Amino acid sequence: MQMAVEDHGAEIEAWADKRLQALCAADGWLNLTDRIEVPPGQHEVGTDPACPMRISAGPARLGTLDLAPDGTAALIREGTRLAFEPGPEVPPRLVIAGLLLELMTVETTRYLRVRDLLHPRRSNPPRLPRYPLSPAWRLQGEWHVFDQPKQAAIQLVGGAGSEVTLTHEARFWHDGRAVALLATHWKAGLPMFVFRDATSGAETYGASRFLIGEPQGDQILLDFNKAFSPPCAFSEHAVCPLPPRQNILPFAIRAGEMLPE
């Protein structure tokens, strides 16, 4: 799909601004301080070394985390029971004492994830270098739907795994070769591709990069100038999917985000 270079450049700059805003948001990836396994039961939480569930930010005694066997949770603080509330595409969460607490599940294990809302990285984020604009990597591909959904196992950074349902793949041509990328995840109704290419580890984040596709009927726009580093590039407490074998590409895609500083 043709687009004037000036318009394309303006679009990418606007995208990069939104990307940085999301990264610095209260639920972005710069302010994670902890990810702690939580078994069912009651656990006293706080920064005090005497707390059985010690966290890195917040008050000495935050309260008592009460996790039921069915996964519902609440924080008991000063006699008040505060429930973790689920939201669209986010784990159950609670804002309290300058912290955003989330109860996430990896496989069958539950974790308390803590975000410090006053973390200095939110106002002083790392620089996100990008390759120069590459109109050649703004591709129109075929948006192929499978006859039947397929279940697939996806590995996560850290060794765990998850199951995903595959319904589509994006097909395009590169240097005379057919390429097909599996859409393993969906964000806000749009397909997300987790991929690795010949730049991974040296010029871009080693585990993978992400790309959100833009379906248009039986076609899909893949603008690799919007490829971005996953959350685990910014925090050891994030859990990120690794690319399926099909999405490990033997060629270099020099477009989008490079290694963050």
Tens-level pLDDT at each residue, the chain (261 residues): 678 999 999 999 999 999 999 999 999 999 999 999 999 999 999 999 999 999 999 999 999 999 999 999 999 999 999 999 998 889 999 999 999 999 999 888 999 999 999 999 999 999 999 999 999 999 999 999 999 999 999 999 887 888 999 999 999 999 999 999 999 999 999 999 999 999 999 999 999 999 999 999 999 999 999 999 999 999 999 999 999 999 999 999 999 999 998
Total count of residues recorded for the chain: 261
- 154 forms beta bridges with 162
Pairing of strands 73-77, 63-67: antiparallel
Can you give the pLDDT at residue 1? 61
How does strand 53-54 pair with strand 190-195?
Answer: unpaired
Compute the distance between CA of residue 256 and CA of residue 129 in angstroms, rounded to an integer: 9
pLDDT of residue 157: 87
Element housing 60 (H / E): none
Do residues 112 and 45 lie in contact, with contact meaning Cβ atoms separated by under 8 Å?
Answer: yes
| Bridge partners, 210 (sequence order) | 194, 228
Rounded to 5°, angle at Cα 179 from 178 and 183: 145
How far apart (Å, rounded) are the C-alpha atoms in residues 90 and 243?
A: 21
CA nearest 241: which of 100, 107, 101, 137?
107
pTM score, whole prediction: 0.93
The residue type at 108: T
Sheet holding 109-116, edge to edge: 32-37, 109-116, 99-106, 90-96, 85-87
DSSP alpha helices (H): ranges in the chain?
5-24
Beta bridge partners of 168: 145
Q: Which two tokens stand for residue 141?
A: 């591909």
DSSP lists the bridge partners of residue 41 as 67
Residue 143 phi/psi, 5-degree rounding, is -100, 95
